[in-house]
Amino acid sequence: MGAAETPKDSTMVEYPIVTTAIVSDAPKDGHVQWRKESVKLREPLADEILVQIVASGICHTDVALSLLPEDTPNYAPYPKIMGHEGSGVVERVGSGVTHVKAGDKVLLSFDFCGKDDCRGCVDETPGYCDVFHSKNLFCVPDVYQTEGGKSTSGLFFGQSSFSKLALVKGTSAVNVEGLVKSEEELKLFAPLGCGYQTGAGAVTEFANVGKHDEIAVSSTIATRGRYLVLLTRNPRSLDSVVSAWRLSWYVRVESKSAD
């Protein structure tokens, strides 16, 4: 992919690309401050691509990190552009990116370092990348500029998909040309970048659910809005948990085969 680049002094950055985005300002009275407006982008660096966003999911993380106080340490300053469940079509490609080309359909997900000394990346489990938090939760300054000339942070989760034209890290883009047939399918698969991965992955990978297992999935106050996954091989115990916890919904995974 090539080494990551960082723009020089922000006063020297040029923003020749014009697009529309949902810009997040600092929260007010406990509410997110999102507004749609025209913004400008810089050109892609060597390890980046420019993507025409077709669709983007909205995740609770987009909301939660838009509610962080303006002075939260390590987080890029407001305004910023969120979004991390994007899908779209490649417009331009940085010189160090080789797995996509202009016109390719892509699904966007999290960023990772890909270095040989990173255990998560070497083991092909980039979700456990040593620098996952800094590459994904912390936006990068000076990626966009508002109409008023104010520097705006981007590359949230390596993509900031709340922008019609988005600068995306090459590592965040999965080439699905030939797999996804149309832009309508791109819209359908956009949440694969986060929602499908974390929801289904918690069941199939972390909980390792099998065909004779039953699970309960709930969003509760105790889990602060996150999904709680319970696994049991005893149907009676599952029914007891559902009743006692007043779970919002649950899923039974049962085998239809004779064995």
- Residue labelled with tokens 């039974």: 252
259 in a domain, yes or no?
no
Q: Residue 223's pLDDT is what?
A: 40
Banded pLDDT at 239 (limits 50, 70, 90) = low
> Cα–chain-centroid distance for residue 223?
21
Q: Residue 41's pLDDT is what?
A: 97
137 shares its domain with 224: no
Cα distance between residue 34 and residue 62, in whole Å = 11
Domain end, chosen from 194, 212, 233, is at 194
Say what the pTM is.
0.79
Cα distance between residue 65 and residue 170, in whole Å = 23
Cα distance between residue 161 and residue 57, in whole Å = 9
For 138-152, how does the pLDDT look when each residue is reduced to its tens digit (9 = 90+)? 999 999 999 899 999
Domain end, chosen from 194, 213, 233, is at 194
64: domain range?
Answer: 10-194
User: In this structure, are residues 140 and 154 in contact, taking their beta carbons and an 8 Å threshold?
Assistant: yes
219 shares its domain with 145: no
257 in a domain, yes or no?
no
> Cα–chain-centroid distance for residue 84?
3
188 shares its domain with 235: no
Residues facing residue 232 across a β-bridge: 214
Q: Exposed/middle/buried for 43, CB within 10 Å: 0-12, 13-18, 19+?
A: middle
Q: What would the mean pLDDT of 65-94 be, rounded to a whole number?
A: 94
For 102-116, how does the pLDDT look when each residue is reduced to its tens digit (9 = 90+)? 999 999 999 999 999
68 shares its domain with 183: yes
Q: How many domains does the chain divide into?
A: 2
